[in-house]
Structure 1
Amino acid sequence: MDKIKFGTDGWRAVIGDTYTIRNIARVAEGTAQWVKQQSDSPSIVIGHDCRFNGRMFMETAIKVYLNHGIKVYYADGFVSTPMVSMGTKEYGANIGVVLTASHNPPSYGGYKLKSNHGGPLLPAKIQEVEDLIPDELAVEKYTADLDAAKKSGQLIKVDLEGAYINAIKENFDIEAIKNSGLNLAFDAMYGSGQNVLKPLFPDMSFLHCEHNPGFMGQAPEPIAKNLKELEAFIKSNGNIDAALATDGDADRIGLYGKDGEFIDSHHIILLLIHYMVKYKGMSGKVVTAFSCSPKIAKMCEHYGLEHQTVKIGFKHIAGIMIDEDVLLGGEESGGIATKGHIPERDGIWMGMIIWEFMAKSGKSLASLIDEVYEIVGGFKFERSDLHISEDLKLEIIENCKNNVYASFGEYKVDKVETIDGFKFYLPNDSWVMIRPSGTEPVLRVYAEATDLDEVRKILKTTETTLLKQ
């Protein structure tokens, strides 16, 4: 029997291999048992993303919940992770479930857990659910009459996407953006956020905003190497002021400026802080993951904001957002949440803030980034994903633990931080970080320096050092 483990952000597995009806039912059983421990009248909100057989897998989980007498609110059709998180809070459910593999390749399926606060279920609670997943589950435990459950009121269809669109209307100045003269584009990467912006901005340029469970073979992660079509579209059009991209479940953001240059999450986080504090007069703590740029701490110092660094995985940020006054929580991978919304990553919501910033200030994205540079200094960042054998990956991590890397080629290591992975600080405000992925067979290498050539040189030198085993 397959052992089911929740990683950095839920359980992920290859569809038809370990991601099967039987295993979905087992995870649903553990979820149902946990929810019944929380309440005498338990309820669950559930939705699925755009991936293959999403509805079938969702109905399997629903049948398990129904057999436990749990009330279920379900989305009819694909929805994003932020939609389910909002719904979990809105309906006062004990837990939210999103059947999604987020940014992973199209062959993967997944199962995320959401808290009644509207964000990721906290790590200790996730472990409790995992501990309740049985090794076996009889087939009759995941058969139920869905039509009868709908008639009895135990199974209720809800419009999570409509509620999300209404929340955007209520929280953003849509007319200001429309009337600003900005030419905007949106690339949904065939993900579950594909229908959100169409009714709000019908004249916008839309890419990959149709249902395609195979994602044209592309992992729907909004990073530069996966967004070449969007980059080419911006450059060939010559009139796009900013372009937003979101991942498979629309909780991560990718951003492009007018010249077709990819704007990484570090810059997005800095732009958001700058707008919310200087332009909107907001305040609060900033919480960022270990892989984020030290420039964020510098920005916080400039504005007198408290800054905290946590382990990678938005669940570590969400817990702080629930308990404290947090202005922004963010990750290098494009998962960012802000005050006034749910404690959840939300790519479209963050894009709306950036567009509103541009519209209200009347400034280009490049000009706003220059304002940020005046505070923290200019910098560039890139990440490289090394697909190497598990043995070599473990050997490299062991070398990191044993302080084998005193330098990477000509780059001497000044100090090392090990909150989650290994961040090596190099001369001239540059750094390189090494960390194994929590959801994929990949070793990630991150680097920052004052210009892009230097960043790429650091990455190449580091990779050469690591692979010379």
Structure 2
Amino acid sequence: MTDVQTTRYDDQKPGTSGLRKTVSVFKQPHYLENFVQAIFDCVPELKGGLLILGGDGRYHNDVAIQTILRIAAANGVAKVMVGKDGILSTPAVSNMIRQYGANGGFVLSASHNPGGPDGDFGIKYNVSNGGPAATSLTDAVFERTKVMEHYQIADGHVDLSTLGHSNLGAMAVSVFDPVTDYADLMETLFDFETIRRFLTSDLSLIFDAMHAVTGPYAQEIFVRRLGVNSDALMNATPLPDFGGGHPDPNPVYAKALFDRMFGDDAPDFGAASDGDGDRNIVLGRGVYVSPSDSLAVITANAHLAPAYRDGIKGVARSMPTSRASDVVAAAMGIESFETPTGWKYFGNLLDAGRITVCGEESAGTSSDHVREKDGLWAILMWLNILAVRRLSVQDILTDHWATYGRHYYSRHDYESVAADKAEDVMARLQGQLTTLPGTTLRKETISAADSFTYHDPIDGSVTENQGLRVMFESGSRFVMRLSGTGTAGATLRLYLEAYEPKDGDHHADLSKRLEPIAAIAEDLTNLRQTVGRDGPSVVS
């Protein structure tokens, strides 16, 4: 064990999903070591405890895992369980922490960001309930990094290619199958036999793992347990650079899947997950299910899956997510909550038993089985719903809109924008918030406008300035916020939502239906001219 004198870095403030930087930043001397040591310094219960470790297989994961193992050994961790070859999806980490009573876990991933030597890398710490660390802990870690003078590290190396047990100094290391425990959990939640019969007789499926972490999970669940032919899986081998692709399941980066699902020979059902397996998209033949609609449909139909047969307790959504699930919750007589973006804000509600299902517009949906978003869980829930109701994806949506109305919804991402320009846009809108209510623009009357503040109903904490909201009397709205998931410049996100009542037109062209709301947003923010763009980088 060695005590290493180090150089401090001032840029190690974790975002909503941990610390994400380019690979070149993480390769700086002592950079990763400082951050990991800061976590051990701030989480004393890890000494003598159990730690879960794994990641999405992206470039630099193998090096980072060995570094974390050596620092863990030097800091007195009793045992580390690490996925074979360092592979472990984000929801699987959460499950492992909960299943084995671990003190915490490291997730090595930059989620949907690109990988490779010129790509991104990330590290996130999850606490003993399986969920992301609270802001109080991540703030403490950041403060610790700013005064870091040394770290402890042991000598040694662990063979991650072979299942089994070994030791690194006094620390036990268990290299385990990263797939089986998670797949077993899914089989307790859903009716695999009914899904299997449906998939092998009436429903054709295609799944795109995007050369990311869920390839092995899809092989085990879809092929081995549900009987799907292996040729239904696209890009099922995890690669350090995701095959040169961008593992974000949206219409731009999952274009091959979308082309297939909107082609003449489209299968009945299509789906994809992202780099670390926590996000998802769902498609039917010629139809894309927005994540907001997916959350609402799951809320209305979760009782069709065995684990949720007695009904759900409540539902929560991130603030930018459309209000479609709110309408369902009201009709069902269950609680609904609006939280800031970031899965950690759902943790208190889940632990307190106030909600069962939760989701974000950024393609994340899950339930109380773990404390992370879970892409394969959402896809299996859809398959369970389809298998029981014996309807197509389009028919499920059509019936849902006829029952609850439709929230036309879209997110416009302006990526890698100069930070000062993005802040100018936000400041322009924020300066008008108090004067907007009662104003009519393009036939829409503004009912309220604010900067979203969240009051946690469980612990009483207050989280301010989580995005700017402009709401209309029609039930429509737009939201604008800066995202914390990018690594270059700023990502400015504009969320557009137009509500059509249950007796209205539910099959209008999405972009045309949202045009008036988009125009109002442009009128108020001067977005495109300020950031120097003709349009968004990605529309989803």
Query: Which TM class, normalised by the smaller chain length?
Result: over 0.9
Following superposition, the deviation at residue 16 of structure 1 comes to: 1.2
Cα distance in 2 for partners of 1:76, 1:168 equals 20
CA contact (8 A) 1:384 1:459 kept: no
Amino acid at match of 2:492: L
Among 288, 306, 310, the residue aligned to 2:317: 288
User: Are 1:8 and 2:16 counterparts?
Assistant: yes
Per-residue CA deviation, residues 329-383 of structure 1 (Å, 9 max, x unaligned), is: 21111222214x1122100011101101100111111222123212321232111
Match of 1:270 in 2: 296
**In the alignment, which residue of structure 1 is the partner of 2:54?**
47
Asked if 1:85 is matched to 2:77, the reply is: no
Match of 1:352 among 338, 361, 380: 380
Provide the aligned C-alpha RMSD in A: 2.4
* 3-state SS in 1 of match to 2:25: coil
CA–CA separation in structure 2 for the residues paired with 1:2 and 1:255: 41
Please tell me the residue identity of whatever aligns with 1:426.
F
- 1:156 equivalent in alignment to 2:177: no
Choose which of 245, 259, 264 in structure 1 pairs with 2:272: 245
Q: Choose from 52, 59, 69 the match for 1:62.
A: 69
C-alpha change, 1:311 and 1:200, in structure 2 (3 Å) is closer
TM superposition shift of 1:403: 1.1
| More divergent stretch after superposition (358-367 vs 408-417) | 408-417
| Aligned equivalent of 1:219 | 246
Please identify, of 57-66 and 419-428, the stretch whose mean Cα deviation from structure 2 is larger: 419-428
- Compared CA separation, residues 213 and 19, structure 1 to 2 (3 A): same
The Cα offsets for residues 10-62 of structure 1, whole Å up to 9 and x where unpaired, read as 11000012454621111111122233x22662221110212112111111111
- Give the letter aligned to residue 90 of structure 1: Q
Give the Cα–Cα distance (whole angstroms) in 1 for the partners of residues 516 and 323 of structure 2.
20
Q: Deviations over 1:260-279 (max 9, x none)?
A: x2211111111111112578
Compute the displacement of 1:312 (Å): 1.0
Contact 2:26 2:121 in 1 (8 A): no
5+ residue gaps, structure 1: none
Structure 2 distance, partners of 1:168, 1:283, is 17
Considering fraction of residues, name the structure with more strand.
Answer: 2
Match of 2:155 among 144, 153, 170: 144
Given residue 186 of structure 1, which amino acid in structure 2 is its aligned partner?
F
1:16 and 1:257, CA in 2 relative to 1: closer, same or farther beyond 3 A?
same
2 CA distance for matches of 1:277 and 1:170? 14
Query: Of the candidates 103, 109, 127, which is equivalent to residue 139 of structure 2?
Result: 127
Q: Does 1:434 align with 2:468?
A: no
Cα drift, residue 251 of structure 1: 0.5
Q: Is the 2:108–2:121 contact (alpha carbons within 8 Å) kept by the matching residues of 1?
A: yes
Aligned to 2:362: 333
Alignment correspondent of 1:166: 184
The number of aligned residues is: 465
Could you say if the C-alpha distance between residues 240 and 221 of structure 1 is closer, same or farther in structure 2, counting changes exceeding 3 Å? same
- Where structure 2 has 5 or more consecutive residues not aligned to the other structure, the ranges are 1-7, 159-165, 224-228, 453-465, 501-507, 531-540
User: Quick one: structure 1 residues 22 and 463, their matched pair in 2 at CA, closer, same or farther if it must change by over 3 Å?
Assistant: farther
Equivalent residue number for residue 236 of structure 2: 209
In 2, the alpha carbon distance for the partners of 1:66 and 1:278 equals 46
Q: Which residue of 2 aligns with 1:414?
A: 447
Corresponding residue to 1:115 among 124, 127, 130: 127
In the alignment, the residues of structure 1 paired with residue 330 and residue 304 of structure 2 have an alpha-carbon distance, to the nearest angstrom, of 14
8 Å CA contact retained: 2:34, 2:148: yes
| Percent identity of equivalent pairs | 22
Deviation (angstroms), 1:399: 1.6
Deviation of 1:438 after TM superposition, in Å, equals 1.6
The alpha-carbon distance between structure 1 residues 200 and 74, as it changes in their structure 2 partners (threshold 3 A), is closer
2:334 equivalent to 1:316 = no
**Paired residue for 1:459, among 508, 518, 528?**
518
Aligned to 1:395: 424
Q: Retained in 2: the 8 A contact 1:82–1:251?
A: yes
Task: Kindly state the Cα deviation for residue 100 of structure 1 after the two structures are TM-superposed.
Answer: 0.4
Cα deviation code 1:184-225 (max 9, x no counterpart): 111112221111121333216111212232234443222222
Match of 2:456 in 1: none
| Distance in 2, Cα, partners of 1:466 & 1:334 | 25
In structure 1, which of residues 103, 107, 113 is the aligned counterpart of residue 112 of structure 2?
103
Query: For each residue in 1:207-265, what CA deviation from the matched residue of structure 2 results, as whole angstroms up to 9, or x when unmatched?
Result: 12122322344432222222211011123362411111111101011111111x22111
Q: Work out the CA distance in 2 between the residues paired with 1:408 and 1:27.
A: 50
CA–CA separation in structure 2 for the residues paired with 1:88 and 1:313: 19
In structure 1, distance between residues paired with 2:61 and 2:192? 32
Q: 1:183 to 1:417 in 2, by over 3 A?
A: farther
- Tell me the distance in 2 between the aligned counterparts of 1:346 and 1:270: 16
